[in-house]
Amino acid sequence: MTTDLKTAVINASEKWKAAFNSGDAAGCAACYEADAVMVATPFGTYSGHSEIQSFWQNLIDNGFTDVDYLDPDITVLDDTSVLLTSGWKMNKAHGVITRELWVLQDDGTMALREDHFEAQG
């Protein structure tokens, strides 16, 4: 089960990155649970699909793209949840992901319940 959850998170994370890099903010938001919370330091806290989609759309509209994760660490917490931490970079910024909490959904996919990251430059 541990390997399956890790693989599911890797796939879900790749789906999110592909959506962002193709300019699809709605696709980014679809990777979150409906009542997910995203803490984007220093920008603010965003809750739910609409606010999260607006945040990503603003970044996309301002020319941010080419996101990639640097040395991700994936830890299975229990039978339904996985923690991902990582450095990240994109064309106009870089930083650290301190907590992506991915949770197994009823349909077998993984979705973000919590997303905590920091832009450092």
Give me the residue label for tokens 């994760």. 69
Q: What is the pLDDT of residues 45-104, one digit of tens each?
A: 999 999 999 999 999 999 999 999 999 999 999 999 999 999 999 999 999 999 999 999
* pLDDT bucket at 1, cuts 50 / 70 / 90: low
Give the sheet arrangement for strand 110-119, strand by strand.
44-47, 32-41, 110-119, 93-104, 81-90, 68-76
Mean pLDDT of 109-121: 96
The pLDDT of residue 115: 98
Q: What is the mean pLDDT of residues 95-116?
A: 97
pTM for the model:
0.95
Supply the pLDDT for residue 60.
97
Q: Is the pLDDT of residue 2 over 90?
A: no
Which of 1, 109, 96, 114 minimizes the C-alpha distance to 42? 96
